[in-house]
Amino acid sequence: MPFGVFVRIEDREDGFEGLVHTDELDQSPQDVIEVGDALTVKITDVDLVRRRIALSQRQADR
């Protein structure tokens, strides 16, 4: 994905997913991330109305 990667929250039965925008990744997604990889991320924003969450790999490393 040129704009980021989608991450599934594993402990959710409804398969809730969030987006890690390319600006919030440690490296380019094409270089390091493959389908099925586990990532450590931090939730940075929640939009309950639109059922969206924003995630950051960079902020999780702090």
What pLDDT score does 2 carry?
A: 72
Report how far residue 7's alpha carbon sits from residue 17's, in angstroms, rounded to the nearest whole number.
Answer: 5
What pLDDT score does 9 carry?
A: 80
What pLDDT score does 12 carry?
A: 67
| pLDDT per residue as tens, the chain (62 positions) | 478 888 888 776 776 788 999 889 887 766 778 888 888 899 999 998 988 899 999 999 76
Report how far residue 48's alpha carbon sits from residue 46's, in angstroms, rounded to the nearest whole number.
Answer: 6
What pLDDT score does 29 carry?
A: 65
